[in-house]
Structure 1
Amino acid sequence: MPILEREPSRDHGKSDGLPKLPVPKLQQTLDMYLKCMRHLVPEEKFRRTKMIVDQFGAPGGVGQFLQQKLLERREKNANWVYDYWLEDMYLNNRLALPVNSSPVMVFPKQNFRTNSDSLRFAAHLISGVLEYKALLDAQALPVDYARGQLAGTPLCMDQYYRLFTSYRLPGPKRDTLVAQKSSVMPEPEHIIVACKNQFFVLDVVINFRRLNEKDLYTQLEKIWRMAENEEERLPPIGLLTSDGRTEWAEARSVLIQDSTNRDSLDMIERCLCLVCLNEPSGPELTDTNRALLMLHGGGPERNGGNCWYDKPLQFVIGSDGCCGVVCEHSPFEGIVLVQCTEYLLKYMKGSPSKLVRAASVSELPAPRRLRWKCSPEIQALLAASADKLQRLVKNLDMNVYKFTNYGKEFIKKQKMSPDAYIQVALQLAYYRSAPQVSTYESASIRRFQEGRVDNIRSATSEALAFVRTMTGENCSLNLKQLRDAINAQTNYTIMAITGMAIDNHLLGLREIAKELNMEKLELFSDETYTISNQFILSTSQVPTTVEMFCCYGPVLPNGYGACYNPQSDHIIFCVSSFRDSEESCSDKFVKALREGLLEMGSLCTKGNNPVTPSEHPVQVSNTMRNGSKCMYPQNVQYIIEC
C-alpha cells in the first residue's frame, strides 16, 4: 500500500546532466550584501554592519571556515542549499497557509447555466488531470528550456514529479514535506472531492481501468446528491487546515486519537489532488473578487471549509463560475503550476467533452464519504479556526488591475527587459508613499540539480536614484537613469539565475553554523541583516500563455504582495495588502503604479508619442485603511525565466 515517507526521495532522474549549484565566493557575496544594504539603512548603522562583515570575512576568520564547510557540503549533496532553503522558506513558517503562503491561479470566469454544467466542467478537468499524470508516470514530459535571460539552457524537471505525490504534514515546530511512494501492488488511485464541506473518495482507477469522462461525471453527480443529504453532514473539518501550522498540528494530534479520523486523514493525505465543488459565493465575480475567493474561499460562511490546504493541488470549481487552483507552495514553484494548469486548460479547449460518446461502466461503486468523530474538544478547535479564518478574510485587501496602455512588446522595442522594467516601476510606485525597502523577486535556479529559487534584490541604488528624480520637485525625466536602473536589475537577475546571488549563500552560512552548534554570529544578529530579510515588497513574475492570472498575499503585516503577468499589449497586476496596516493600501499602490508606468512610457518615447491614460482608469476606493484619503486623486513554452 502507498506510504508517506520523508521528502528526500526526490530524485526522479530528471536532474541528470545538469551541473550542481555553485557556492559563490565568500568575498563576492559579502561585498554585494554591503552594496545591497548601503542605501537601505542609516549611515551609522551601515558603518557598524561593514565592520561586522569585514570581521566575518577576514582571512582565517569564521566566515572562511563556514565557507569551506559549505564547499564540503556541496560535494556530498546534489544541491547544497535545498534543505536549508525549504525549511527556512516554508517548513519552519508557522503562519496559516491560505493568503500567507499558498498562491492561486485564477481561471477565466465560466458561465455555468446549471449545476450539471459545473459537474461536466469538473469531469472534463479531472480527465485532463489524469492525462497529465499519465505523462508524468511515463516520464514523458518534455524537458523545459529557459527563455529570457541566458535562453536555451535545459532546466531541472524534479518539481513536476511532486505535483501529485506530495503532502505538507503539519508539525508543532516544523512541518514535513512527505512524498507518496507506491509499492508493487498499490491501492486504486483516488481523488478527494470536497462538496458542501464534506469529503468524498473518488476512485479514478477501478478494476485496473481508468475512469473515462462519463464515469467521472456519473460519480460527481452521486457525490453532489450525497452531499445534499443534511442528515449525513459532518462538521467542516477542512477549516482546521486553514489555521496556523502549530495550531493545526495540535488539532491533528487530537483527531488521530480516533481510528475513524485516522482512516479519513490517510485517504486525504494519499490522494492525487483535491477537487472542490464550491457553492455560489455571493459577490459580483470581478477579477479582484475571484482572486479573493480563490485565496480564502470567502471564509467559514462560504467555502472556507470546503478545502484541504495541505495538499499541493486543489482544483476549485464554483457553481457560479469562479474556478482556479490553490497551490501548497513547498513542493514546487509557480512556473510548474502554470505549466500544469495551461496544459489542463488547453486540453479542455482542444479536446471536446466526451460525455456523449463515452461508454460508462455499467455499475460503478458509489464514492465513499469520509467520516469524522468530533469530540467537544475538536468542535472547539473548529470554532477557533473559523474565527481566525474570518479575521483573515476581512483583513485581506486585493486589487487585480489590468494596465492596458502598453505591454511587453512596447518595452522590448525600447531594448529593455520587460521584467526589469516592471520591477523598476514597482520601486517607483512604492517610493511615492514610503522610503525604499528590501524587495524580493523570485529567480529560478532550475538550471542546476534540484534547483528552486534565489532572490533578486530589486531595491538597487540605481533604482533609488531613478525614483528620486521621478518624484522630486524639479522632476528631471532622465532616460539614462532609467536605463541604469534596468541594467542593474538585469545584471542582478543574471547573477541570481546562475547561482551567484547572496540570499541562498548567506542562508547556507547561517544554517551550517547552527548545525555546528556555534553561537549566533554577529553578522546574523545584526539589525541590518534583519532588515535585509524583511521583504515589505514581495514580487514575482508569473507569465501565462492562456487567459488566467496568479496572485498571493503579502509576507509581512505592513507589506505588499505584487504578482504580475506581462502580455504583448497589457500587463496584469495582482496587488495585495492587509487592511489593518496604516502603512499599506492596495488601491493606493495600484494608482501609483499606473501613474509611474505612464510616466516611464512617456519618458521612453521622449514626448514623440507619449503614452496617454487609457479610457478605463483604475476603479478603486480612495479611502485608506485608517479612514484618511489616499494621496492620489480618484481620476488620476515554454518557461520564461526572469
Structure 2
Amino acid sequence: MAEAHEAVAFSFQIGPDGVNVNLSFDAVKTIVYSGLRSWKLRWRRGLNSLYNSLYPGGPIRGIAYVGLVSTLYYNGYDLSFQIIPWLEQHVFRPYFLPKTSKILACVAFGCGSYIVVIEIRKQTLRILFSYHGWMYQTHGKKTPILSKLWGGIVSLLVGRNPSLYSCQGSLPTLPLPSVNDTVERYLRTVRPLFDDAEYTRMEKLAEEFKNSLGGRLQRYLWLKWLLSSNYVSDWWEEYVYLRGRSPIMVNSNFYGLDAVYIRPTTVQSARAANLTCAAFFYRTELDKENIKPLMVQKLVPLCSRQYERQFNTVRIPGLETDKIIHYSDSRHIAVYNKGRWYKVYTFYNNQLLMPCELQIQFEAIINDTTPPSKGEEHLAALTAGERKQWAQARNKYFSTGINRSSLDAIEKAAFIIILEDEDYAFTATMSKDFNDYAHSIFHGKAYDRWFDKSFNFIISKNAVFGFNVEHSWADAPITGHMVEYVICEDIIHFGYDKDGNTNGTPRFDAIKPIKLKWNISDECDQVIESSLAVATELYRDVDLNVYIQDDYGKGFIKKCKLSPDSHIQMALQLAYYRDSGKFSLTYEASMTRLFREGRTETVRSCSIESSQWVKSMNDPNISNAKRIELLRLACDYHQQQYRDAMTGKGIDRHLFCLYVVSKYLGVDSPFLQEVLSEPWKLSTSQTPHNYEEKYAKYTKDPSKINAGGGFGPVADDGYGVSYVIAGEDLIFFHITSKKSSSATDSLRFGNHIKKAFNDMKNLFNNESVE
C-alpha cells in the first residue's frame, strides 16, 4: 500500500516465454479514484454554476414556480397573458401530440418567465449596489429615510443564503471617473508636497493634459470600460505584477506571522500536519462554495473572484511577461526540508489524509538522512532572482526528463510546506528575535522558499508558523481569510495531545513521501548560484522592524470619536515628518471589491488637512484644543478619501489606465509621465481580521489571532508599513526599508510611531473621551 503511488500501473512485454502483462491493482485503484474525484469536482462546480446563475432564486424554487404556473393554467387561470396558448399552438403543436404540447408550453413559459424574473432581480440589485450613500453616513447620527428604504429593499432582494460566488452577477461595474474630476483630486493631494512654483508648474501640465490628450485617452478607456467587466484589474495584474522583470522576493511577495501569544505545540511535524489538513478543509469549502461572501453592513457583498486561484496555482516566468497558471485540482503538496524537495500525497482511496496520517509523512521527511542532489538545495533561488534569467533556465534545463517531472510536482502542488531546520526563538515583544522571525518568513535564505507558488506555509523546528504569498493572483485579505480559518481549525478543531502530537489513530499505513529527483548540470548550477547571489544581496539589504503598540489601540481611539484607521494614518504622517523633515506621497491600499473583479485603489493619506495638523504638533504656539480640531478635520478628510477610493472615485488607477492607453497609442503625456514616476516613499496597508463567523468569538481574543505581516518598501529611500489592529489595546506595525539608504531606518521609524501615538494620546488628556 505504501508504494501504491510509485507503482507502474500497467506493463506489457513480449519475450521468449510469450506475452507478459503486469497489472498493479493499487495503482489502477488510485487512478480510478483520481478520475472519480475529478468528475465529482466537475459535477459539483457545474451545479454551483447553475445555482449561481439563478441566484437569488434557485433550481428548486424554479421547479416549484413552473409547477405553480402549470397547475393554475390547467385549472383555467392563465398567468401568461395568452403566451402559453400561443406557444402550444404555433411552436409545439406541429411536432407533438396536443397533451404533450400543452405540457411543453407550460414548462417553456414557466422556465422563461422565471429566468426573466431572476434577471430583473439581478439588475435591480446591481442598481441598488451602485448606491453608496450609506457609506458616507456619519456614525452616531440618525439614518436617513433614503438609506433605510435602500437597506430594506436590498435585504428583501439579496437572498438569505448566498454561496461564495452567488452575488457575482449582481455586482456593479467599476465606474469610470471623468478626467476633470480625477485631475482636480490629484492636484489637491499633491499641494502639500510642492512649493508654489512647483505647484503652478504642475497645474499648467494638468490643464494642458485636460485640454488636449486627456479627452482622446478617455474615449479609448471608455471603450474598454464598456467591453470589460473591470477596466482596471487585467491591466493592473499584467503591468504592475506580471511584466516586472526584477525579483518578486521582497519586491512583490508578502509575509504573515503566527498567533504570537499562544504556542499550541512545539512538535514540528504535528503542527505541519494540522495546518496542512486545515488548508485542505478550507480548499474543500471553497470548491463547494460553502464559504459565505464577505458582506459590508451585512447587506452588500464583496467580489469573491480572487478566491478562485488560491490553491493549485503558480506563477510561471517568461522572457517578457510571466503568466499565472491555475490547475483545477491537486492531490499533493510539495515539501522542502534540509535542501531536499518531496512530493507528498494528501489523499488515499479518495479520502483526505487526517493530521495523524500526515504527521507520519512529515516525520519521515525530517528523519530522512538522504543528502540533497547536486543543485537541489539552492534550486528555489531561481524563483527569487531575476525573472528573465529564471525563464531562460526553465526553458533550457527544466523542459524535459526528470527535471521536468520534478518541477511539475512543485508547480502543480496544492501549495508548499517548508519544514525549517532551525527554531524561531522569540517572545511576543519587540526584540531582535521577533524581527529575525519576521525576516525569515519574509525571505528566508532566498533558496528555501518557492516564491512562485501562490503561498508557502513555513513551520520552524519548534513549530512556529508563518506564510509567504505570491502577490499577483490576489491581495492580502484573501490569504488573511484562509490563514484565520487554518489557525482556528488547527487550535480549536484538531488540537494536540499532551505530548504535542496530533490527535487520532491512523486508519492505514502511511503513504511514503516521494523524494524528487534532479539532474542539474554544472551550467545550470551556475545559473542557480547566480540567482542566489542576486537574491542574497537583495534580502540582506532589508531593514525590518516589528513595532508592537500595546499602550492603547482602537478602544481608546473610538472613545475619542475618531476612526482607528484614520488615527493610525495620521500617526504615520506625524512619524514620517519627524523622521524625514518633510511630507511625501503616501500610499494606503484600499479595496474596490464592491465592484465586479475589483482589487485595490490608492488612498493618498498625505493631504492639506493632515499636513496642517502635523505642523501644529510641532508648533508650541498652538493649543491642544486647536490641534484636536485639526486632527478631526484631517481624520474626516481621510475617511472621505477612503470612501471615495472604495466607491470608484479614486485617482491612481484611473491615471494608470490612461497612461497604459497612451503607451498603446504611442503618444507621450508629460503630465502622466510625471504622475506615474512620483515615488511612494511611504507605502502603507492595513491587514483586516475577523472574517470567519463561526470563529468570531475566538478571534476577538488577541492572543489567538495572527500578528499580521508585511511587505517590502516601494521606494529605495522609503518605508513599507503594514499594520494590523489585533485588539482593543494592541496594534502590530511591520516596518521595512533598505539598509543601503541613509535616509531611512526602520527601528528609528518605529520609535517615531511610538512617540506619535503617545503625543496623540496626550492631546486628549484634558479632554473627556467618554
TM-score range, shorter chain: 0.7 to 0.9
Aligned twin of 1:195: 337
Q: Deviations over 1:95-145 (max 9, x none)?
A: 32222211111003575987xx21011111111011101101111111101
How far, CA to CA, are the matches of 2:706 and 2:323 in structure 1? 34
Superposed displacement of residue 287, structure 1: 2.5
Aligned twin of 1:312: 454
Aligned twin of 1:523: 671
How far, CA to CA, are the matches of 1:593 and 1:552 in structure 2? 18
Answer whether contact 2:586 2:684 (CA < 8 A) is retained: yes
Cα separation, partners in 2 of 1:146 and 1:282, compared to 1, 3 Å? closer
Cα separation, partners in 2 of 1:231 and 1:343, compared to 1, 3 Å? closer
Answer whether contact 2:378 2:532 (CA < 8 A) is retained: no
Match for residue 497 of structure 1 among 635, 646, 665: 646
Letter aligned with residue 600 of structure 2: V
Superposed displacement of residue 25, structure 1: 1.9
Superposed displacement of residue 480, structure 1: 1.0
Letter aligned with residue 95 of structure 1: S
Match of 1:348, SS state, is helix
For structure 1, which segment, 570-579 or 493-502, has the greater mean C-alpha deviation from structure 2 after superposition? 570-579
Aligned twin of 1:581: 741
1:555 aligns with 2:714: yes
Aligned twin of 1:205: 347
Match of 2:494, SS state, is coil
Aligned twin of 2:169: 16
Superposed displacement of residue 391, structure 1: 2.1
Superposed displacement of residue 43, structure 1: 2.7
Letter aligned with residue 563 of structure 1: S
How far, CA to CA, are the matches of 1:256 and 1:13 in structure 2? 41
Aligned twin of 2:271: 121
Aligned twin of 1:539: 684
Superposed displacement of residue 431, structure 1: 0.3
Letter aligned with residue 122 of structure 1: A
Gaps of at least 5 residues in structure 2 are 1-34, 39-48, 53-164, 428-432, 497-501, 690-698, 700-704
Answer whether contact 2:558 2:564 (CA < 8 A) is retained: yes
Match for residue 600 of structure 1 among 749, 755, 760: 760
Letter aligned with residue 293 of structure 2: V
How far, CA to CA, are the matches of 1:72 and 1:137 in structure 2? 35
Superposed displacement of residue 159, structure 1: 1.2
Match of 1:39, SS state, is helix
TM-score, length basis structure 2: 0.72
How far, CA to CA, are the matches of 1:80 and 1:413 in structure 2? 40
**Which protein is bigger by CA-based radius of gyration?**
2
1:485 aligns with 2:634: yes
Counterpart mapping for 1:604-619 below 5 A: 604-606=764-766
Q: Deviations over 1:178-203 (max 9, x none)?
A: 22245xxxxx6111111112111111
Cα separation, partners in 2 of 1:231 and 1:78, compared to 1, 3 Å? closer
Match of 1:250, SS state, is helix
Aligned twin of 2:216: 65
Q: Deviations over 1:431-474 (max 9, x none)?
A: 01321111110001111101100000001111111111112354
Answer whether contact 1:202 1:367 (CA < 8 A) is retained: yes
Aligned twin of 2:483: 341
Match for residue 74 of structure 1 among 225, 250, 258: 225
For structure 1, which segment, 231-240 or 286-295, has the greater mean C-alpha deviation from structure 2 after superposition? 231-240
Answer whether contact 2:723 2:733 (CA < 8 A) is retained: yes
Aligned twin of 1:50: 203
Aligned twin of 1:624: none
**Percent identity at matched positions?**
29
How far, CA to CA, are the matches of 1:134 and 1:20 in structure 2? 29
Match for residue 255 of structure 1 among 397, 400, 421: 397
Cα separation, partners in 2 of 1:539 and 1:113, compared to 1, 3 Å? closer
For structure 1, which segment, 517-526 or 277-286, has the greater mean C-alpha deviation from structure 2 after superposition? 277-286
Answer whether contact 2:237 2:472 (CA < 8 A) is retained: yes
Aligned twin of 1:357: 504
Superposed displacement of residue 284, structure 1: 5.2
Superposed displacement of residue 519, structure 1: 1.5
Match of 2:168, SS state, is coil
Match of 2:547, SS state, is strand
Cα separation, partners in 2 of 1:358 and 1:158, compared to 1, 3 Å? farther
Which structure exhibits the higher relative contact order, with contacts defined as CA atoms closer than 8 Å and separated by 6 or more residues?
A: 1
Q: Deviations over 1:26-58 (max 9, x none)?
A: 211010111111221333332222122112212
Cα separation, partners in 2 of 1:94 and 1:146, compared to 1, 3 Å? farther
Q: Deviations over 1:203-256 (max 9, x none)?
A: 112332222222211222222233x21275734211211112223223323322
**Structure with greater helix percent:** 2
Match for residue 451 of structure 1 among 598, 604, 609: 598
Match for residue 588 of structure 2 among 420, 441, 457: 441
Letter aligned with residue 144 of structure 1: L
Q: Deviations over 1:536-592 (max 9, x none)?
A: 101001133414221222112111111111221122111111111100011111111
How far, CA to CA, are the matches of 1:269 and 1:594 in structure 2? 43
1:223 aligns with 2:365: yes
Superposed displacement of residue 160, structure 1: 1.5
For structure 1, which segment, 427-436 or 152-161, has the greater mean C-alpha deviation from structure 2 after superposition? 152-161
1:267 aligns with 2:412: no
How far, CA to CA, are the matches of 2:418 and 2:327 in structure 1? 22
Match for residue 36 of structure 1 among 186, 189, 204: 189
How far, CA to CA, are the matches of 1:462 and 1:259 in structure 2? 62
How far, CA to CA, are the matches of 1:305 and 1:603 in structure 2? 48
1:331 aligns with 2:468: no
Answer whether contact 1:420 1:489 (CA < 8 A) is retained: yes
Aligned twin of 1:615: none
Gaps of at least 5 residues in structure 1 are 3-9, 183-187, 611-642
Letter aligned with residue 192 of structure 1: A
How far, CA to CA, are the matches of 1:208 and 1:427 in structure 2? 54
Aligned twin of 1:397: 543
Match for residue 303 of structure 2 among 139, 153, 156: 156
How far, CA to CA, are the matches of 2:739 and 2:721 in structure 1? 16
Answer whether contact 2:656 2:676 (CA < 8 A) is retained: no
Cα separation, partners in 2 of 1:166 and 1:356, compared to 1, 3 Å? closer
Cα separation, partners in 2 of 1:97 and 1:518, compared to 1, 3 Å? closer
How far, CA to CA, are the matches of 1:494 and 1:609 in structure 2? 25
Match for residue 133 of structure 1 among 264, 283, 296: 283
Superposed displacement of residue 62, structure 1: 2.5
Match of 1:540, SS state, is strand
Letter aligned with residue 198 of structure 1: R
Superposed displacement of residue 13, structure 1: 6.1
Q: Deviations over 1:68-119 (max 9, x none)?
A: 22222122111111111112321122332222211111003575987xx210
Answer whether contact 1:84 1:507 (CA < 8 A) is retained: no
Q: Deviations over 1:341-379 (max 9, x none)?
A: 0101111121134844333223x4422222222112221
Aligned twin of 1:91: 242
Letter aligned with residue 272 of structure 1: A
1:591 aligns with 2:742: no
Answer whether contact 1:200 1:367 (CA < 8 A) is retained: yes
Answer whether contact 1:543 1:564 (CA < 8 A) is retained: no
Aligned twin of 1:638: none
Cα separation, partners in 2 of 1:138 and 1:366, compared to 1, 3 Å? same
How far, CA to CA, are the matches of 1:605 and 1:85 in structure 2? 45
Q: Deviations over 1:479-499 (max 9, x none)?
A: 111111111111100000001
The number of residues matched between the two structures is 580
Letter aligned with residue 750 of structure 2: V
TM-score, length basis structure 1: 0.86
Superposed displacement of residue 334, structure 1: 1.1
Letter aligned with residue 555 of structure 2: E
Aligned twin of 2:522: 376
How far, CA to CA, are the matches of 1:257 and 1:83 in structure 2? 28
